[in-house]
Structure 1
Amino acid sequence: MILSPFEWTIAKRYMLPGRGEAFIALVAGISLVAVMLGVAALVIVMSVMNGFRAELLDKIVGLNGHAIIQAYGGRLDNWQDILKRVQQTPDVTHASPLIEQPLLASFNGRVEAILVRGNTAEDIKRLEDKRVDGVIGSLRPGSGNVALGSRLAENLGARVGDSITIINPQGRSTPFGTVPREIAYTVSAIFEVGVYDYDQAYVVMPISDAQTLLLTGDTIGMIEVTTTNADTVMDTLGPLKKELEGQAVVTDWKTINASLFEALAVERVAMFIVLSIIVLVAVFNILSSLIMLVRAKTRDIAILRTMGATRKSLLKIFVTIGFVIGALGTLSGLALGFVFLFFRQPIVNAIQYLTGQNLWDPSIRFLTELPSRSDPVEITTICLMALLFSFLATLYPALKAASTDPVQVLRYE
């Protein structure tokens, strides 16, 4: 919709009302601010929701792979052959043996439930970028060294160099019953994955040390698999799943974390709908301000009609006024949303400091910091939706202005 110089001049004049029309200008300003806040809220919430999903996926998949092949009964005896078969499967980028077993750990009288994780040397090296203290490279087979999650180390009160005791209830049998197996390990490193449940439970050690601790011999519990595409992992492992029926079960990351990711998906859709209604309510302010402007300018509109202005010109003028308010509100909302997202963590910390409330409890939120990841397609959709709502809100007042009868308005002038 291209405006002529005459139409653009009138539109600019009406967008900047005079002193006697300050109330109309106030309503228009409120309309702009309302659209800005609605768009900003949508951008912030949707980016944070995307960040939640992306961060959880990155951290969970980064530690556990895209899928797990787990034996019935918890012991995979012929795991070397299965591992070779997995590694030869097209689109599989990484596969490695893994042991995970819930046990207990004690230190200075404190006892915590833990998840012992036996990894290969290659997988242990992947923890290097998550290390917060100590030396990950010291976790060598037979060294007696382990790495603790940061929250677990905090709960136990253990630091690098301390010796913790890991208790395996499946110990040796004696005439007086089964004696739990207790082995001391040296804490050589502390890591932080960023997922609370992992950081408060994981004890990582070489896979051979885990086999010795658990008395499993040369067997493992599972094989973790990483593929080229996390979303199509079951398609990739479909043939292998059929081969292993009755021997092992193949579970992907979606199934393992189904409740978590399904809750995020439902909440994401619900938040988008609710906040879209906020934007819709905001554009009603544009509608009301334009109706007030048309009523205030009825005499001017009649005079313009007698001077030769067409109905189409008046329609374009008032549509432009409302659309510009919506566009400015949308752009301002984008800017406000991105500024908030850039300073999101300091803002959360400041609110926590002022209110004295813990707004970000990692034990509830899973992640240690507020995440954010903006989707360009989603941002574009939000902008187009706000602009569409703004345009639709201008149609009724613009049509009302265009249908003004100059004869009726100027009859008694």
Structure 2
Amino acid sequence: MFQRFEWMIAWRYLRARRSEGGISVMTWISLAGISLAVFALIAVLAVRTGFRYEFVDTIVGANPHVSVLSYGEVLPNGTLTRTVSDYDALTERLSGVEGVVTVKPVVTGQVMATANGRNTGAQVIGIRPEDLAGIPRVASPEQSQGDIADFAGGVALGWFVAQDLGLQAGDMVRLISPEGTKTPFGTSPRVKAYPVTYVFQVGRYDIDKIRIYMPFDEAQIYFNKPELADEVQVTLTDAEQVDSFAPRLIAAAGDGNYLWTWKDAAGGFLRALQMEDNIMFVIMSILVLVATLNITSGLVMLVKNKGRDIGILRTMGLSEGTVLRVFFLCGASIGVVGTAIGTLLGCLFAIYIDQIFGFVNWVAGGGVWDPSVRYISALPARLELGDVLLAVTLSLSLSFIVTIFPARRAARMNPVEALRYE
């Protein structure tokens, strides 16, 4: 498509010094602008993808993909209960659904935890030891104390629950529930002390801040729910495809039960992330567009400076198409090289983000990342081939498009007018 001499002329124009009528300075400015714009776009896309991946992973890694709950029934005394009495049969039916990995009944309740003169509210989940060991983020946490194998002899605390109470593995914690022993004078709170056998950090602040795991049988006794469960939790092979599993799960669960998926629980966060993703991509695309416009300004100056050369080339027999391709090569080369440099910098940033962010945190004196606001414990980045290709395609497309106008202007220049005053 491009002749060898066209490449030679384009290269000669790009590297010419200003004293020779070239635009070397504008070339470097355009190159730097495109490189930085592509670098910023890839960095933003990597952080965006990493943030969503880490956010979802902390949800599905420490929470069920689907919770099967009961609509409830009215007891003879007129009270409404939403507990599940046939949880073993329900667990067996759900386990037979294709794509289901684990099914576990749980008991849940709200308590006040106290130790060392400190108090904090907490969510207690009663779960069997073998089921707790199957929760990925709890079994393989970011950091931990104690041994999950000792869970049957006590309780497991979230990292920030233990910090708030000044506890470590091996200490005692008292749990206070308002739904305690029923007496002729009313219901008295239930207070019981448990050894802390395991402390975990799943990496999600709102979980580490409130969660306490208790053995299932003990939770049934503690919350006055003998032979009952509050819900049955299901883990699937693919959490992202939870909607496609729903019909089969509800059919297996039977009448009187309904599903509550992780997408229902975190729907607001996911929609906010999607909206932010779209806005950031538009903003960064505008940044790339502004950077590529430097190519247009540089080429316009080049065409003006090289008017005599264009006139001579035309009188020597070069066609309009040849001149257009020469100046198109000038602009496109800047776009390609700038995109390549920006892509390399963006990929390196995504790969070494932990070290870069650690340095920034050190320079700022710490405290740059607040997990209580962002819910995850570190700034993530995930480099995806699709994101890199999207950034490269956008940059190259804009670079080629903005090059066409000055290139056509050069091609349509009248050689007589270009040489009139020479």
Q: TM-score, normalised by structure 1?
A: 0.94
Q: Which amino acid aligns with 1:44?
A: A
Give unmatched runs, 5+ long, in structure 1.
none
Stretches of 4+ aligned residues off by more than 4 angstroms:
242-246
Give the conservation status (yes or no) of the 8 Å contact 2:95–2:103: yes
Matched with 1:115 is 123
Say yes or no: does 1:305 pair with 2:319.
no
2:220, 2:391 → 1: CA distance? 53
CA contact (8 A) 1:99 1:207 kept: yes
Q: CA deviation at 1:176?
A: 4.5
* 1:226 aligns to 2:235 (yes or no): yes
State whether structure 2 residue 84 is matched by structure 1 residue 76. Answer: yes
The 5 Å alignment of 1:207-222 reads 207-222=216-231
For 1:83 and 1:60, the matched residues in 2 are separated by 22
Shift in CA distance, 98/175, structure 1 to aligned 2, threshold 3 Å: closer
Match of 1:132 among 144, 149, 157: 144
Rate the CA distance shift 1:62–1:74 in 2: closer, same or farther, 3 A: farther
* 1:322 aligned partner: 331
Corresponding residue of 2:265: 256
Verify the 8 A CA contact 2:332 2:403 in the aligned structure 1.
yes
| 192-201 or 116-125, larger mean C-alpha shift | 116-125
Q: How does 1:165-180 map to 2 (within 5 A)?
A: 165-180=174-189
Question: How big is each residue's C-alpha offset from its partner over 1:180-208, in whole Å with a ceiling of 9 and x where there is no partner?
Answer: 10111111111110101111111112211
Q: TM-score, normalised by structure 2?
A: 0.92
RMSD: 1.8
CA contact 2:220–2:228 (8 Å) conserved in 1: yes
Residues 231-310 of structure 1 mapped to structure 2, 5 A cutoff: 231-241=240-250, 244=253, 247-310=256-319
Match of 2:9 in 1: 10
How many residue pairs get aligned? The number is 409
2:53 aligned partner: 54
User: CA separation of 1:293/1:165 partners in 2, compared to 1, >3 Å: closer, same or farther?
Assistant: same
How far off its partner does 1:334 sit?
Answer: 1.2
**Structure 1 residues 94-105: aligned runs within 5 Å:** 94-105=102-113
Deviation of residue 21 (structure 1)? 5.4
Q: Give the whole-Å Cα distance in 2 for the aligned partners of 1:368 and 1:21.
A: 56
SS of the residue corresponding to residue 235 of structure 1 reads: helix
- Greater CA deviation, 106-115 or 34-43? 34-43
* Stretch moving more, 260-269 or 205-214: 205-214
Q: Which region of structure 1 is more displaced relative to structure 2, 388-397 or 298-307?
A: 298-307
Alpha-carbon offset, residue 90 of structure 1:
2.1
1:243, distance to aligned residue in structure 2 (A): 6.5
Contact 1:283 1:389 in 2 (8 A): yes
Q: In the alignment, what sits opposite 1:204?
A: 213
343-352 or 321-330, which moves further after superposition? 343-352
* 1:40 partner SS: helix
**Shift in CA distance, 23/6, structure 1 to aligned 2, threshold 3 Å:** closer
1:18 shift after superposition: 2.1
